[in-house]
Structure 1
């Protein structure tokens, strides 16, 4: 997993509350066994109609938001089922950061395990970001995880809170396996000592 320290990216808005994981990646696309390839199905039923036509008024289908890597949305993002495919789809689509007032707990935890930074801001701060995104074509946010800072090119400067353990996950590019492997010497020493104890029995 790539380390996350600084990120600057175009902002893509999804102005909806209670965005659930079935909307993020519908169940019919969960048959893949790899983590990759889910991005094409992100928000599938919001991006295409039943005839397969592009829904042009959905923001992520609009030209001005193509290539967005910072997603902003409303409260309770990632609710519903606990499928890990949801952060897989978000990451595969190109998003590295999500900003919302609140998240479903399992989705929130899964983001860190997959290299995505979910930032929690107040309702008022998120509303301000929506207004800035609408006002400025090509609106970008700059995320500094080393200093927990969020800035833009128009004077915005916000400090966000983040659990230090989760912060270190991203700064060091670690998932659960990577975190365990940091202690491989101690694990190996324990296993060798355990073998020796068993040999004396």
Structure 2
């Protein structure tokens, strides 16, 4: 008796396989995995004097990024100069044009800080969407080039140096696609 199971003709352009090929070569399995990265301007390298523009290294590079979301953060503020929103320019993730800025990842609407006169809370509502769907996926992400811009496209003036009252924090959620058993 013949124990090989084989279609009599190709199905959807797939060549016929033997039983052992069907059993021994299962389709690759992938899963989504989330990584949270907290970007703090005070932890930037000294070669970047302004907390409004710097490059933040990702110590363990992310591969096959399929979604990016800004989930929250804080911005320094002074009541006289804080605009109603700040443009978050992340060169590696920009996907929209806002006002005078050439590119933007997100528009951060500011609100008074709860119990704090020096920081405003970043609300994650945007003029468009809070989640960037990466199609195709970003094959490798080693760093984020951060710039905080005023509505007219110029850099926000948060001073220079590492004074804690001039710093900001942004929390990102990155979703990557990885094969089961793959090390990050």
- The structure where strand makes up a greater share of residues is 2
- Interval of TM-score (by shorter of Structure 1 and Structure 2): under 0.3
Greater Cα radius of gyration, structure 1 or 2: 2
TM-score with structure 2 setting the length: 0.25
- The structure where helix makes up a greater share of residues is 1
TM-score with structure 1 setting the length: 0.23
